[in-house]
Amino acid sequence: MCATAEQVSRSAAAKEHPVVIHTNKRDPSLCSRILAIGRATPAYRVSQEESFRISRYERDGVRRVFLNSGIDFRHFYFEQEPRLDETSDELNARYLRGAVETGCRAARTCLDLAGLSPRDVDLLVVCTSTGYVCPDIGTRLIGHMGFRNDVRRASMIGLGCAGAVPSLQQAVDFTNAHLGLVSLMLAVEICSACYYFDDAMETVVGNAICSDGAAAVPLTRSPLMRQSYPALVAFASFMDPDHLQTVGLDHREGKLRIILGTDVRNLAAPLIQGALTPLLERHGLSQSDIRFWVAHPGGRKVIDNVQKALGLTDAQLRFSRAVLRQHGNMSSPTVLFVLDEVVRTGDPRTGDWGVLIALGPGMAAELALLQW
Task: Please report how many Cα atoms fall inside a 13 Å half-sphere around the Cα of residue 1, on the Cβ side.
Answer: 11
Strand, helix or coil at 118?
helix
Q: Is 191 a catalytic residue?
A: no
Residue 92: left if φ>0, alpha if ψ -120 to 50, beta else—which one?
alpha
- The H-or-E segment that residue 47 falls in is strand 44-47
Q: Judge whether 162 and 367 are in contact, CB under 8 Å.
A: no
Task: Write down the catalytic residue from 31, 110, 127, 161.
Answer: 161
Question: d(Cα 174, Cα 367) in Å, to the nearest integer?
Answer: 18
Amino acid at 234: A
Most distant CA atoms of the chain, gap in Å: 58
Q: How buried is residue 1: exposed, middle or buried, by Cβ count under 10 Å (0-12/13-18/19+)?
A: exposed
Burial readout 117-126 (b: 16 or more C-beta within 10 A, e: otherwise): ebebbbbbbb
Residue closest to 66 by CA, chosen among 75, 77, 55: 55
At a CB cut-off of 8 Å and minimum separation 6, what does 80 contact?
none
Amino acid at 112: D
Handedness of CA 255, 260, 261, 264 (dihedral sign): positive
At a CB cut-off of 8 Å and minimum separation 6, what does 233 contact?
24, 26, 28, 31, 283, 368, 369, 370, 371
Q: Which residues are catalytic?
A: 161
